[in-house]
Structure 1
Amino acid sequence: MSEAFSAALDGSAPGLVRAAHVVGSAALGDHRPGSDLDLVLELSRVPGPDDLAALAAALTPELDLVCLVDGEPGPWGRDGAFHPGPGHDVTPVLLHQLNRCSTTLRGPRPRFAVTRDEVEAYCRRNLVEYWRPLLELVAGVTGPGHRDGVLWVAFGPARQWHTIRTGEVVSKTRAGELAAEHWPDLADELRDLLAARRGERVELTAAHREAVVALGNRVLAAV
């Protein structure tokens, strides 16, 4: 939690934040310039009007914020927009990340009640409900462009695949490396996509889009 964010909350809403944890790419060693910072706050009370005002004032466009009150969803923010009511989905995978691979900036380490079966079931649903439609969109792309979309879809399914198999949460980069080892016929294209994700100047072609779709479909078939 940045000093400015912490100072804003402590000055305007003292005692509100019981614990603060970083999750996502920053906690997994995969943060890239321009990436958002994913911050989860455990609040000590149901936030009142002054608390909500302090949270909104402290939010920045680079911060994705989720607040929990007794483990239940509370206020949240994304892209600089603050939402005072619950609406962000607190998933089993988020709770699993908090327990296993978050970076705690303030307060005690998280100990949320979540089971391996709940995590696996969520990953399977997410693959079908979220990632499969995106894979279908990528499969329908023709011509140049759509680089950001291809990179977004490239390794998301592989992350879910690894969590289902092992219970471990890994970054997109690590998921891509593991997928390249597991499916060596896709390895060249996946390594190019990993390089592009790092910001290297790699031209992405139809072969790379096809590898993304093939990887996603293999994940769906495997789980």
Structure 2
Amino acid sequence: MVTPGEYLSFLDARLPGLVAGAHLHGSHVLDDVVPGSDLDIVIELSSAAEVPAFEGADVAVVPAGSLEKPVFDVTPLAGEITPVLWQQLRTAGQTVRGARPTCPGTAADVEDYCRSNLVSYWTPLFDQVRVAPEVPRDGIVWVGLGPARLWHTIRTGEIVSKSRAGELAAARWPDLPILDVVSVRRGSPAELTAVHTRATVELFDRIMADVTT
């Protein structure tokens, strides 16, 4: 598993003097590091440069100072930036180099992004899941827990990990075997079957109904 120190040493050797800021988000700051977790990090560069790929690091790159602006005013140099990322950096992010950012934004921006993402990304994906003859184990975890994070943020404004979102969805709909999916994400060798695939579809349908009422 990649550490922030390892990744920054890699960047400093290839982009000497350019890495002005580095800020962690994702599983490392949400207490949800599991086998195979990437290092989720935002890098600020003092000058535009191509950041080389590094296995195990999921990187967004922005010009230095960008994290003091609304996300809609920033053009990333690499990777994706969203209102949810800005809120996470503002509230739970961990700065490992540079000054802690302000990442200005509003709760309405975050909610609008979550609702839009459920429609634009997750709905077409579930159209495929509904007719797929088989969904791999990792795929069931992905589709089972991703929408639950957006559902919880829409309802409460809070950003939680995939595992926590699964626990919250399971508490809301205890008839669905979502805790099995959470357990597998956390490293359980248990099998996930077609029953779990159907449960993720049902969960998604319930989430969509819940956030549109």
Same fold (TM over 0.5): yes
Q: Which 5+ residue runs of structure 2 have no aligned equivalent?
A: 67-73
Asked whether the 8 Å contact 1:36–1:64 carries over to 2, the reply is: yes
- Report how far residue 202 of structure 1 moved: 1.6
Identify if the C-alpha distance between structure 1 residues 40 and 136 changes in structure 2 by more than 3 Å, giving closer, same or farther: same
Equivalence for 2:69? none
Distance 2:4 2:93 in 1: 16
Give the partner amino acid of 1:62: G
Q: Which 5+ residue runs of structure 1 have no aligned equivalent?
A: 77-87
Distance 1:203 1:26 in 2: 26
TM-score when normalising by structure 2: 0.86
Give the partner amino acid of 1:216: F
Equivalence for 2:89? 98
Identity of aligned residues (%): 46
Equivalence for 1:174? 164
Equivalence for 1:155? 145
TM-score when normalising by structure 1: 0.82
Asked whether the 8 Å contact 1:23–1:103 carries over to 2, the reply is: yes
1:46 and 2:47 are equivalent in the alignment: yes
Distance 2:191 2:9 in 1: 44
Asked whether the 8 Å contact 1:158–1:176 carries over to 2, the reply is: yes
Give the partner amino acid of 2:60: V
Give the partner amino acid of 1:153: V
Identify if the C-alpha distance between structure 1 residues 68 and 209 changes in structure 2 by more than 3 Å, giving closer, same or farther: same
Asked whether the 8 Å contact 1:66–1:73 carries over to 2, the reply is: no
- Pairwise CA RMSD: 1.9
Count residues in correspondence.
Answer: 201
66, 89, 106: which one aligns with 2:60: 66
Give the secondary-structure state (helix, strand or coil) at the position aligned to 2:77.
Answer: strand
Identify if the C-alpha distance between structure 1 residues 204 and 7 changes in structure 2 by more than 3 Å, giving closer, same or farther: closer
Structure 2 matches for 1:124-203, cutoff 5 A? 124-142=115-133, 146-186=136-176, 189-203=177-191
Asked whether the 8 Å contact 1:138–1:150 carries over to 2, the reply is: no
